[in-house]
Chains A and B, each alone.
Chain A
Amino acid sequence: MIFLGTVVEESVTTCIKAVRTLDNELAAQVLDGDTKINDLEVDVEELCLKILALHQPVASDLRFVITVLKMNTDFERIGDLACKVADKVILVNGTKKITGSSLHTIMPHRFDEMFGATQAMFSSCLDAFVREDSDLAHKICIMDDVVDQAKRAIRLELEEISRNKPELQPYLPMILSIARGLERIGDHSAHIAEDIIYMLQGRIVRHDKEL
Chain B
Amino acid sequence: MTNEKNAVTSIEDSIVQVRDLNLFYGTSQALFNLDFDIPRNRVTALIGPSGCGKSTFIRCINRMNDLVDIVRIDGSIQLNGQDIFAKSVDVIDLRRRIGMVFQKSNPFPKSIYENVVYGLRIGGVTEKPDLDEAAVVSLKRAALWDEVKDRLHDSAMGLSGGQMQRLCIARAIAVAPDIILMDEPCSALDPRSTAHIEELIRELNGEYTIIIVTHNMQQASRVSDYTAFLYEGELVEFGKTKDLFTVPVEKATEDYITGRFG
Contact = CB atoms under 8 A, between A and B. Distances in A.
The 8 closest A-B pairs by CB, nearest first: A202-B247, A58-B245, A58-B257, A59-B254, A61-B258, A59-B258, A59-B248, A59-B257
A82 B245 CA distance: 38
Given A63-B246, A202-B246, A202-B247, A58 B217 contact: yes
A203 B1 CA distance: 7
Interface string A52-86: 00001111111100000000000000000000000
B221 A59 contact: no
Interface of A is mostly: helix
- Give the one of A57, A58, A62, A201 with max B CB within 10 A: A58
Contacts of B254: 59-60
Interface string B221-262: 100000000000000000000000111100001100110000
The number of chain A residues touching the other chain, given as a range, is: 10 to 19
A58 B247 contact: no
Nearest to B257: A58
A202 B1 CA distance: 7
Contacts of A63: 246-247
B90 to A, nearest CB: 42
A195 B245 CA distance: 18
Contacts of A59: 245-248, 253-254, 257-258
A43 to B, nearest CB: 24
B218 interface: yes
Contacts of B258: 57-61
A201 B247 CA distance: 8
Contacts of B221: 58
Nearest to B249: A202
Interface string A179-203: 0000000000000000000000111
